[in-house]
A and B are shown apart, each in its own frame.
Chain A
């Protein structure tokens, strides 16, 4: 058991994934996180946005994703779309401000990608950032992991 955990930690740091034993949600090191459980991957002036593993796990099976139009404006902290699970519609809030340049059309046919691959194939929108300094308001992976642990233990 101890050996497997050691192997897992080594593999995790090689792959740049943090694995926390109490929560089983995956958190990636190279992303920024909002307290409403969205992640953002920044590349210069472009950002890719999705919901985290913690979020998809708590939402349940996603049956539909309501996407914004390309060209729409998004504002940090405001809703831009929604994820529907069997009995609930949940807003997706943008971790950054900017303009939508691409939406993940695959989600129309396969909304479950949000569950199976929340950080990769389940990405939701790509945005051209209007204000890079907003990223300072977001959490890094360590802060977000701690945040999730606190949320789960409180409830």
Chain B
């Protein structure tokens, strides 16, 4: 499963191998880049009323910096954590990619954490045209790293909950108990791309 920035599918994925191997592609409503999602991926999404985080202006850079401080606490003493441009890295190797959506009164900051990955799955991704500077010309396997090589999964989750708990009061909820009330007219959509759409993008790729 994949998450993907809209449009220009042909620039982001190897459409022929994706079609051949029947890889589902999801277009996400937030911004951000393309990631390979497998059953180890950890997603952390922070949905905040802008007034609940009063020292953070509701724009990408301030939100990103604030999140960098939060995760700095999570990894303190455990790993060489850095916020590099819009990525989370250990040293200069990316392990977390970010995406945001900002509305008038609240914002979402979403991270896809690379717990583990198979090298062959990375071949579905093209080298993005807008790569961060710190990537230099490294290909995927030299650019990213596996979180599982740095800490146990439960420790990452516990430390994240604790770091969030230092800023907010935290309580667990089940997905079933969440009730979606009214939906405003302008609706963001996250959706699965159709095979037809991927085929059309494939024609654009030589």
Contact = CB atoms under 8 A, between A and B. Distances in A.
A100 B103 CA distance: 20
B55 interface: yes
Contacts of B5: 84
B20 interface: no
A57 to B, nearest CB: 9
Interface residues of A, number: 24
B86 A89 contact: no
Among A79, A87, A89, A152, chain B packs the most CB atoms within 10 A around the CB of: A87
A36 B104 contact: yes
Nearest to A75: B185
Contact of A87 (B6, B7, B100, B103): B100
A79 B103 contact: yes
A80 B57 CA distance: 21
Interface in A74-99: 77-80, 84-91, 93
Contacts of A36: 104
Contacts of B59: 55, 58-59, 90
A63 interface: yes
B99 A88 contact: yes
A75 B61 CA distance: 28
Contacts of A79: 103-104, 184, 186
Nearest to A34: B104
Given A63-B130, A79-B186, A89-B100, A84 B57 contact: no
Interface string B12-29: 000000000000000001
B35 interface: no
Contact of A89 (B56, B101, B104, B130): B101
A95 B127 CA distance: 40
Contact of B86 (A80, A86, A90, A152): A86
Interface in B93-126: 98-104
B32 interface: yes
A152 B57 CA distance: 8
Given A58-B61, A86-B130, A80 B186 contact: yes
B83 to A, nearest CB: 12
A88 B104 contact: no
B104 A77 contact: yes
A59 B60 contact: yes
A43 interface: no
A71 interface: no
Contacts of B57: 58, 151-152, 155
A88 B31 contact: yes
Contacts of B147: none
Given A58-B60, A85-B31, A155-B62, 15 more contacts: A36-B104, A78-B185, A79-B103, A79-B186, A84-B5, A85-B60, A87-B60, A87-B64, A87-B86, A88-B31, A88-B99, A89-B188, A90-B60, A93-B104, A155-B56
19 contacts: A58-B60, A58-B62, A59-B59, A63-B130, A64-B6, A78-B184, A78-B186, A79-B186, A84-B31, A85-B60, A86-B130, A88-B63, A88-B100, A89-B100, A89-B188, A90-B60, A91-B104, A151-B57, A155-B56
Interface of B: 5-7, 29-33, 54-57, 59-64, 86, 98-104, 130, 184-186, 188
